[in-house]
Amino acid sequence: MRRFATIIGFVTAVCLVATRLPAETESVNVATGFRLLTEKSYLPGDFDQEAFDNVWQAWPKKLKAKAEKATPEERRAMAYDRYGLTTRPGDDSGRPLQYVVRPDGMWTMNCFSCHGGTVAGQVIPGLPNANFELETLTEEIRLTKLLMKKPLTRMDVGQLAVPLGTNRGLTNAIMFGVGLMAYRDKDLNIVPNRHPPMINHDVDPPPWWNYSRRPRIYIDGYAERGARGLMPFMMVPENGPDQFREWESDFEKIYDYIMSLEPPKYPFEIDEQLAVAGKVAFDANCAECHGTYGDDETYPGRIVPIDKIGTDPVRLTALTPENRKGYGESWFAHYGKQKTIHEPEGYQAPPLNGVWASAPYFHNGAVPTLWDVLNPSKRPDVWRRSSRPFDEENVGLSIDRLEKMPRKLLSKRARRHYFDTNRFGKSNAGHDYPDSLNAEEKRAVLEYLKTL
């Protein structure tokens, strides 16, 4: 407690000095932003430490037997691995990056559950969490709570009404937002449910390090960037309209933190000569949409009509013009002062900085590696996550390519490790632009993409 008070005292002191020094305010805000995300809980707790420590009791037999013999630390590592949680960089407390752990032992999901994870053995806050298994975690925590006779909470019950995510690393996040906004007017007062259509589908979060490069956000570029726009996730009934106004200053610091992030560097070897050749091919074939990198960085932010891009269309239509208008007219978008596009024509070409790290690719995560992005006709229709490390050859997730889904009955959790592109919202089609490159140029562009 004393240490906590000292830190608060220190931060306050620096803030006081910083009011006269704008550049320093920003760097203090960056540190405070990260601290708020990991230490302050903006939502009611999901489960307590005791439930998490016992979640192994809900595991399948073999794994449960292994957990039973393990030490508490080993058990925690097994649980983190199972649900896609990590420890915090530079913090040996063992607490997860993805949850706030309150002094009373309650765990509350934070933004890093989807926006922070591991790539090539490195924990990176701001990296899309390709391993998060919210659905499995929620199912197994609920079972543990029932075994331990603990009360159920929001997520345990909510999951029965809204699917959380059908693949490891992907979530139904867009519909969480639509569902929460259905209970709010433009001032964020709580109103009766307006029953918007719910078209459940999974999406892959984008990396936070490109937020600063992207004045219009989300895959369809419908919203403008801003601190209030970072807050919709908090719209649970417990948080009334005044709570949002009170927390806005916190989110200005979180905004500065997200704006400060830079992409991680490719940690393996790069063939520099091949990458130089790749830049030439990239600038001629890809830059008109994705921009240029290096000393002359540009980002056009082009929105490509859906029939031209040809990637999965569900995300574009599942969020309706009414949904976007409701957001645009609300407190989040400063009552229309920020420009919201109600009917975007398609998807916005994202910046590709750090793209080596953010597999799987496309907004629905249907394509496991950069090699597959570059070879549209060879993308696997069904693939399964493997436990092998980062795929350095194809640059992205290590997977097994399958002809079709196995006939044998799979458990719900095992099924989430298979990506079946035949399912609703899961198409891996489209974005055929790399077909204008020959095989040699594709190899070179793949090498160049590692350098961004």
In angstroms, give the least distance from the CB of 393 to ligand HEC: 16
**Among residues 400 and 435, whose Cβ is nearest to ligand HEC?**
435
- Residue the block writes with tokens 């089609």: 429
Sign for the pseudo-dihedral over CA of 115, 186, 32, 209: positive
CA–CA dist 208, 117 (Å, integer): 12
Tokens of 29: 């805000």
Q: How far, CA to CA in Å, does 339 sit from each of 24, 46, 202, 255, 428?
A: 30, 35, 26, 19, 31
CB of 273 to ligand HEC, least distance (A): 19
Q: How far is the CB of 254 from ligand HEC (least distance, A)?
A: 6
Residue 106 or 314: the one with the smaller Cβ distance to ligand HEC is 314
* CA of residue 323 relative to chain centroid, distance: 21
Q: Which is nearer to ligand HEC, 328 or 350 (CB)?
A: 350
Q: Least separation, in Å, of the C-beta of 172 and ligand HEC?
A: 8
Look-up of token digits 């059908």? 166
Contact assessment for residue 209 and residue 126, using Cβ atoms and an 8 Å cutoff: yes
260 vs 311, beta carbon nearer ligand HEC = 311
Give the nearest distance from C-beta 354 to ligand HEC in angstroms.
9
Query: For residues 51 and 366, which CB has a smaller minimum distance to ligand HEC in the complex?
Result: 366
The nearer residue to ligand HEC, 66 or 302, going by C-beta atoms, is: 302
Least Å from the CB of residue 132 to ligand HEC:
7
| Two structure tokens written together for 43 | 């939502």
Closest CA to 38 of 5, 87, 83: 87
Instruction: Output 363 or 379, the one with its CB closest to ligand HEC.
Output: 363
Query: CA 49: distance to chain centroid?
Result: 24
Place of tokens 């159920």: 152
Minimum CB separation from ligand HEC for residue 298, in Å? 14
279-305 as b/e: b if 16+ CB within 10 A: bebbbebbeebbbbbeeeeebebebbe
Cα 204 to Cα 171: distance, rounded to the nearest angstrom: 7
Whose structure tokens read 């520099």? 272
Question: Whose Cβ is closer to ligand HEC: residue 217's or residue 275's?
Answer: 217
CB of 437 to ligand HEC, least distance (A): 6
**59 to 82, 311, 386, 387: CA distances (angstroms):** 10, 37, 20, 18
Contact residues for ligand HEC (CB under 6 A)? 111, 113-115, 171, 173-174, 203, 205-206, 210-211, 214, 217-219, 230, 233, 254, 258, 285-286, 288-290, 304, 309, 311, 347, 349-350, 352, 355, 358, 361-363, 370, 373, 431, 433-434, 437, 445
